[in-house]
Amino acid sequence: MTTAHSGASGSEPEAASAIPCRSLEIAACLDELLASGEPRTGYDTLLHRAADVGLYDVVRAWSLSDTPATVDKMTARLLLPAEMLAALTQETAWSDDEALTALTTELPLAVRRYSTKQRFNRFGHTGCHGEDPVRR
């Protein structure tokens, strides 16, 4: 009995180490989807979808908060068009339920990362892209 227990405990760290890898995988996929300019994908599509379902303020709050709040699975399903969710599950080879579970935390973080990148111009300051802050 002791041998079986020690064998099981040896496999637990491997399972625990697989979780961050999966989070990195979905984070990379979300970053790619939000930055995509293809039709029916991207950050703008997410904002339009959020406005259509009455969650625009929630998504905008993610971009303004240092620690965006998590959402439930239904909210993640409402925000992502079926095409985006299908692309995400195909890219990660996860089931819809696994993807939605990961999206509850990763989607707000991805929106925060994307909006932070977009907010700063080439000089590292907020404002219009390409605006020289010295010339103000």
Domain ranges of the chain: 19-121
Average pLDDT value for residue range 49-62: 92
Distance CA 42, CA 116 (A): 15
pLDDT reported for residue 74: 94
70-104 per-position pLDDT tens digit: 999 999 999 988 888 888 888 888 888 999 999 99
Residue 12: what pLDDT? Answer: 38
For the cut 50, the answer to whether the pLDDT of residue 7 exceeds it is: no
Following DSSP, what letter does each residue of 65-91 receive, concatenated? -SSPPP--HHHHHHHS-HHHHHHHHHH
The confidence band for 40, taking pLDDT boundaries of 50, 70 and 90, is low
What pTM does this model have? 0.67
pLDDT of 13 above 80: no
Question: Residue 127: what pLDDT?
Answer: 47
pLDDT of 59 reads: 92
Give 105-110 contacts, CB < 8 A, sequence gap 24+: 105/70, 106/23, 106/26, 106/27, 106/30, 107/30, 107/71, 107/76, 107/79, 107/80, 108/62, 108/68, 108/69, 108/70, 108/71, 109/27, 109/68, 110/27, 110/30, 110/31, 110/34
Look at residue 10 and tell me whether its pLDDT is greater than 70. Answer: no
Q: Which of 6-10, 29-33, 121-125 has the highest mean pLDDT?
A: 29-33
